[in-house]
Amino acid sequence: MGNKSRHTKDLLHIGVYDPDWTLASQVDSNPMAWLVSVNGFLLDARTLPRPIQEEAFRRGLIPYIPGVEDD
């Protein structure tokens, strides 16, 4: 069973905390969904200035812009 699980994860390129496989209700608590690289440093996008968050969202690096609600 463990070998089949490993084979499936390798085949689908799934890792721990993979944002692509996170439930929408859990994306806020997934640290990998918010990591961005700025000048070689990994940072939590939720702590960055708004213009950088907007650019990260435009590039598809973060799931949404924190503080902006859907209408």
Of the candidates 18, 23, 51, the one whose C-alpha atom is nearest the C-alpha of residue 35 is: 18
Amino acid at 6: R
At residue 70, the pLDDT reads: 59
**Whole-angstrom distance, CA of residue 27 vs CA of residue 20:** 10
**Whole-angstrom distance, CA of residue 44 vs CA of residue 53:** 10
Beta strands 35-38; 41-44: pairing state? antiparallel
Kindly list the domain boundaries of the chain, sorted by start residue.
2-58
Q: Which residues of the chain have pLDDT under 70?
A: 69-71
Cβ proximity of 61 and 45 under 8 Å: yes
Q: Which residues pair with 11 in a beta bridge?
A: none
At residue 67, the pLDDT reads: 82
